[in-house]
Amino acid sequence: MNRTTMTWAINTLGILCFVFCAWISLWVIGRFLLPSDTLAVVFFPFALRLGLILNSRRIYWAATYLAEWLALITLYRYLPAQSTFHLWLLSVLSWPICHQLIVYTTPRHWSFLSLASVATIIHSAAIITVGYSLTDDKTLLLLAPLTAMLIALPCCYLIKFYLFSKPWGVISARIADAPIHFHWRNGLICTTAFILNLLIQTQLPPALNRFAPFCLTIPIILFALKYGWQGAFLATLFNSLALISAHVGGDATAQTIELLLSLSVQTVTGIGLGLAVQRQQNLTQDLQQQLNKNQYLSRQLVSTEEKIRRHIARELHDEVGQNITAIKTHASIIKRLDGAKTYMPYLQVIDDMSMNIYQSTKTLLSQLRPTVLDDVGFDDAIAQLIHEMGFAAKDVEVDLTITHHPVSDTVRVTVYRICQEALNNIHKHANAKRVEVTITLDRISQLQVTDDGCGFEPRDAVNGFGLKGIRERVVAMGGACNIQSTPSGTHLAVSLPHIP
């Protein structure tokens, strides 16, 4: 016997024992809830078998059906002969039905739950059609298997999902040293919800009985918001246990039908609400991931833009600057030659045009990249910027505070440009007497510029090209920009994340 066959034999034996014991146990529970032993068979036992079949491989189907047939043989003396035949027939007919349905299974939650809904409808219709002699109460015959399958099928799927869809670690000697993490909070929430629901369903005064069904929706909503549709279904299981515990048992009365209807409705409502909430959460998560991706691309774009600007500025400085210097040098040499007086006006034009090109190139270089950052340090560059603005000539007091750690060149240039734009607006429009500039360069770089000027209208923050450019650049880098203006002054606060 090879290893594969031995594994199959052990798994088959385990499934056989488990299904047989669970089948008998669920039949006993069904006897407590339903008026006849026959209905107890099509209640949870048949639903368990259907849930296991839809969530297991075909090579283990035989073990599941064999366990059910052994259970039917064991319960032979409790069941009428005619009902036994119909139960065997229903069990056998479910095999080809499941064989056709299992083809459409996929790993997605929506797909399986849709398949489970179709399987529930088909099997309920088969029980009504074939099992007409099981009971005279057709309403009970329809509700019993329908309710059980609504509960059992998602339950089996959840067990399969958490057992086989999650990665398992390798069992070794190191497992003895691995720390054990208990999720006390989740367990406490589940236990508290179950106890409260049980007390409400069993201990509520008769005058408040109408309030009890509304209490079932509270844990469903809370668990759906926290855990998605799995949490909502877990809440419905707690609700089902509370409802069953409050049921006194007995004959097939209106109370039993009301219990089955309550179980069915709250299960369908819980799963539907959970799916809707999880769908919304998944869409929100996908949107957040896309926003993070776009933000990352924007940061890379800004960083690449600064690199290109620096490269172009260096090329212009080296190539154009050298050529202009060479032109001016040659023009000066020609001026000193004999007979150059005739060409002196033309040489002067060449000299003036060279100087104009030099000034234009210098202006272009400053627009591409603040060259002062390459010539002096960041602190001196900001101080020089304040000096060039001419605040001292207007008797404007500027308080500058800079704290910095190593940051990327993109962040330094961006902070410098934003500070330049803010100070330029204050110099031209604010009529301020005092300006405070605080700069912090770190993992989260911050710039705060405050003045006591006349402020501006809120619409100017949207229409103004400079302020609009600041906002767009900060947002593109994934930062935050806040501008507050009153008649007594304006406050600009900018924060930028770290960009490699």
Domain range holding 422? 375-497
Rg (CA), the chain: 40
pLDDT recorded at residue 1: 59
Are 236 and 346 within one domain?
no
Structural domain includes residue 177:
no
Are 217 and 251 within one domain?
yes
Phi, psi (deg, nearest 5) at residue 435: -130, 130
Are 117 and 30 within one domain?
yes
What is 117-153 written as a DSSP string?
HHHHHHHHHHHHHH-TTS-S-HHHHHHHHHHHHHHHH
- Structure-block tokens of residue 335: 């001026």
Domain boundary among 368, 384, 412: 368
Structural domain includes residue 303:
no
Which of 39, 67, 42 shows the shortest CA–CA distance to 53? 67
Are 343 and 384 within one domain?
no
Write the Ramachandran bin of 455: left for phi over 0, alpha for psi from -120 to 50, otherwise beta: left
Rounded CA-CA distance 379/135 in Å is: 91
pLDDT recorded at residue 367: 67
Greatest alpha-carbon pair distance for the chain in Å reads: 135
Structural domain includes residue 305:
no
Are 396 and 347 within one domain?
no
Number of domains in the chain: 3
> Which ranges of the chain have pLDDT less than 50?
465
Query: CB under 8 Å to 52, separation ≥6 — which residues?
Result: 15, 19, 64, 156
Query: CB under 8 Å to 411, separation ≥6 — which residues?
Result: 441, 445, 496, 498, 499
| Domain containing residue 420: CATH number | 3.30.565.10
Structural domain includes residue 328:
yes
Domain boundary among 368, 399, 417: 368
Are 217 and 243 within one domain?
yes
Are 87 and 154 within one domain?
yes
Rounded CA-CA distance 416/423 in Å is: 10
pLDDT recorded at residue 158: 85
Domain boundary among 319, 335, 368: 368
Structural domain includes residue 326:
yes
SS3 103: helix
Are 355 and 215 within one domain?
no
Whole-number Cα distances in Å, 48 to 23, 186, 264, 284, 440:
7, 27, 16, 35, 64
Are 84 and 191 within one domain?
yes
Whole-number Cα distances in Å, 210 to 195, 217, 254:
19, 14, 16
Rounded CA-CA distance 461/228 in Å is: 42
Q: Which helix (H) or strand (E) holds 247?
A: none
- Structure-block tokens of residue 376: 């002096």
pLDDT recorded at residue 107: 67
Structural domain includes residue 175:
no
Are 71 and 212 within one domain?
yes
Structural domain includes residue 176:
no
Are 93 and 202 within one domain?
yes
| DSSP percent split of the chain into helix, strand, coil, nearest 5 | 75, 10, 15
pTM of the model: 0.64
Are 86 and 154 within one domain?
yes
Structural domain includes residue 298:
no
